[in-house]
A = this chain, B = another copy of it.
Amino acid sequence: MSLPAMAAKHPNLVINQQDVADMKQAIAQPGAFQDAFNATLERVDQGLTQTIEVPVPQDAGGGYTHEKHKSNYQQMYDTGIIYQLTGEQKYAQYVKNMLLQYAKLYPTLPLHPKRKSSNEGKLFWQGLNEAVWLVHTIQAYDFIYDALTPAERNSIETGAIIPVALFLSEQSPRTFNKVHNHGTWATAAVGMSGYVLDKPLWVERALYDLNLAKKGGFMRQLDELFSPDGYYNEGPYYQRYALMPFVTFAKAIEQNEPQRKIFQYRDGILLKAITSSVELSYNKLLFPLNDAINSKGIDTIELVHGIAIAYGQNPDPRLLDIAQQQDNILLTGDGLKVAQGLDKQLRQPYPFVSSLYRDGQQGDHGALVVMRQGGKTDQAMVFKATAQGLGHGHFDKLTWQFYDKGNEIVSDYGAARFLNIEAKFGGGYLPENNSWAKQTIAHNTLVVDEQSHFNGKLKTANQHHPKLAFYASQQDLTIASASIDTAYDDVAFARTLALVNIKQRNAVIGIDIMRVSANKPHQYDLPVHYQGQLIDTNFERQASLNQLSALGQHNGYQHLWLLATANLATLNTVNPLAKVTWLNDNGRFYTLSTLVNANSVQNSREKMLFTQLGANDPNMNLRQQQAFIHRVNATNHTFVSVIEPHGEYNPSKEYTLGATSMVAELTHHQQAELEAIEIRFSDDQQYLLAINHSSDTVTERTQSVININGQQYQFNGRAQLFGPISTIQTNESNNSK
């Protein structure tokens, strides 16, 4: 198959000739685009003063030759763009000279001396880096193509481009065909090279796998690596990383073969992947789920490219809201469109709303649920009912997070890693990432008998996933429910989370119902990893004063210091409620109120444990995260909790308001597939959340009736909040029976 005439134009990958013309105009005028150009120009000019160095590969990731080849490809790319925008030969010459050196070196190279066991490279220890090199280098080559003589092109292609492309494809078939981020980079590199070198077979292979059998390749990756909602199963941190080769190659495909309509493919899956990446964030930081560095934000370079490319496809002014927060103008045609959109003040607020992101290729491997109330720095609740997420996944089925007033309140640890800090285990994942961060106890979900889900075995974990029972969202109430019975042999658990705006109280609360069932008794731990300073509990705690011991010995428990214990049997009222209040840096108080099993008065094994991370951490690799853990011994048990933001602590202005929780009583009702939580506040206002768990189809027209205290509550759909409820009415109903 021959390519259309467009292929003969250069550049024509991510940037085309019209883009160059538009950008040349833009850089002549003062503004953000000119500033971005000047910044890159300065960097590029600085690079021109230094001797070109293309060293024989020796070092692993982070080492000298590795970093040099990385900075080389970046420099070639930037210098190539500057050549296009200025027309000055010295820039083309710089890129040419470097490429010629690569053309001389590459054919001589064996496999890298420090190569990894799988996905090997030559320039780099990993083929992954080689592919990233080629994605940049082929664009640089495309930029200077017209400045080269045919002989120079021949040298560069023969010595560098073709050998690298063949190495990444024919000579690395497993990686090339892999439906995985490594495969995406490889296919992107080879496919883009195919466009520039006019090798249509390379493009076909990149799209459909080495043998064109469609068992791998870019299209298959688009099919499998994203759920129908654009969710990438390894989680948000890796999703944004994986996005880069996807959007880059897609843009090149769109430029060269628009008839493929790649951005419409699979119902616009690429654009969904971009926007969901942005939405899996709070106050500009990505949700730190699975292996993730918790300071990674939506301004990460991959999302800058993603947003620009998405805007180029469809100039939705809400994308400009994200672009503005990213504050990073790209020197591309799409980057220019974004800059112009911002200059013209077209920006509209990006809607951060409650959303469901199904997991799995068919969307039936659980889901990530994001609940929001108010504005983008008001309340958000994350409910992770997803599949494992492969090697970077954590053993954290049905865990949750809570955000409010700009901060993480109930938190996810993310990964134990100090990126690129040599002294911290070479800058890679620390041993504590396995021994702590992946373990279930590090998350806000059920731990049975101090064992992690799936016994901490990745292979088992990859084979199972939770079942999303339902998700429903209205203006003031979002609710979801999911369950899993494969995380433990004898234990099944189902969690229902709801984010509720109680308008009459000008208050938002979160409700958490964790139902655990088994055939024999177990120890159930339900942690809450909180951010802030502990203020109060409504029960006494026995603190370890002079000595601390680790809470346990395995599966993450060995890393927890036990600061204090509380015997919840001391709360001997009818519906005992254990309350823990903490104060976050955002100046707001948070109270978690949780039902205590009334039987535990006799049982007296129900406890609240207060812990701090740091035991068995000889290298001080872990942060001093505090948590409280609700521990129950039972066969079947339902944990019912409410998280309640309240009050304000303003020491600078010297006032404190509302430091005390107003949740006075919780009552839980279960009637077949209907469930209700009654909440009485300390001013005697009462509310009731009614829930329909039916496994039948439930729509907004489905009616249910639940009878509580002689009062009938009729509601539509999955859930409804009633209240304030008059207690007098209830008594009258009782009396009139």
Structural contact, B421 and A583, CB atoms closer than 8 A: yes
* A653 with B301, Cβ < 8 A, contacts A535-B418, A549-B546 known: yes
Structural contact, B423 and A655, CB atoms closer than 8 A: no
Structural contact, A533 and B422, CB atoms closer than 8 A: no
Which stretch (A289-297, A398-406, A429-437, A719-727) binds chain B?
A289-297
- A77 sits at the interface (CB 8 A): no
- A649 sits at the interface (CB 8 A): yes
Structural contact, A422 and B620, CB atoms closer than 8 A: no
* A561 with B543, Cβ < 8 A, contacts A418-B583, A420-B654, A533-B623 known: no
Which stretch (A259-267, A510-518, A611-619) binds chain B?
A611-619
What distance in Å separates the Cβ of A718 from its nearest Cβ neighbour in chain B? Answer: 37
Can you list, as one digit per residue, whether each of A552-572 has a CB less than 8 Å from chain B (1) or not (0)? Answer: 000000100101100000000
What distance in Å separates the Cβ of A389 from its nearest Cβ neighbour in chain B? Answer: 20
What distance in Å separates the Cβ of A429 from its nearest Cβ neighbour in chain B? Answer: 13
Structural contact, A654 and B419, CB atoms closer than 8 A: yes
Chain copies in the assembled complex? 2
- A255 sits at the interface (CB 8 A): no
CB contacts under 8 Å to B, within A560-607, are 561, 563-564, 581, 583
- A6 sits at the interface (CB 8 A): no
A534, closest chain B residue (CB): B620
- A118 sits at the interface (CB 8 A): no
A619, closest chain B residue (CB): B543
Structural contact, A563 and B427, CB atoms closer than 8 A: no
Structural contact, B543 and A550, CB atoms closer than 8 A: no
- A671 sits at the interface (CB 8 A): no
- A624 sits at the interface (CB 8 A): yes
Q: How far is the CA of A269 from the CA of B527 in the complex (A)?
A: 57
Structural contact, B548 and A548, CB atoms closer than 8 A: yes
Chain B residues contacting A423 (CB-CB under 8 Å) are: 535-536, 581, 659-660
A427, closest chain B residue (CB): B656
* Interface of chain A: mostly helix, strand, loop or mixed: loop
The size of the chain A interface, using a CB distance under 8 A, is 54
Chain B residues contacting A550 (CB-CB under 8 Å) are: 545-547
A293, closest chain B residue (CB): B651
Most buried by B among A293, A418, A583: A418
- A638 sits at the interface (CB 8 A): no
- A104 sits at the interface (CB 8 A): no
Chain B residues contacting A548 (CB-CB under 8 Å) are: 547-549, 561, 615
A535, closest chain B residue (CB): B423
Q: How far is the CA of A563 from the CA of B651 in the complex (A)?
A: 31
* A612 with B615, Cβ < 8 A, contacts A421-B656, A649-B421, A659-B423 known: no
A542, closest chain B residue (CB): B618
Chain B residues contacting A581 (CB-CB under 8 Å) are: 423
Give 3 nearest A-B pairs by CB, closest first.
A423-B536, A420-B656, A548-B548
Q: 26 A-B Cβ contacts within 8 A?
A: A293-B652, A299-B652, A418-B533, A418-B583, A418-B649, A420-B656, A421-B656, A421-B659, A422-B656, A422-B659, A422-B660, A423-B536, A423-B581, A423-B660, A534-B620, A541-B618, A543-B619, A545-B618, A546-B549, A548-B549, A548-B615, A564-B620, A610-B620, A612-B614, A624-B624, A624-B626
Given contacts A295-B652, A420-B654, 11 further A-B contacts (CB under 8 A): A300-B653, A418-B535, A420-B655, A421-B583, A423-B659, A534-B620, A545-B550, A546-B615, A547-B548, A548-B549, A612-B624
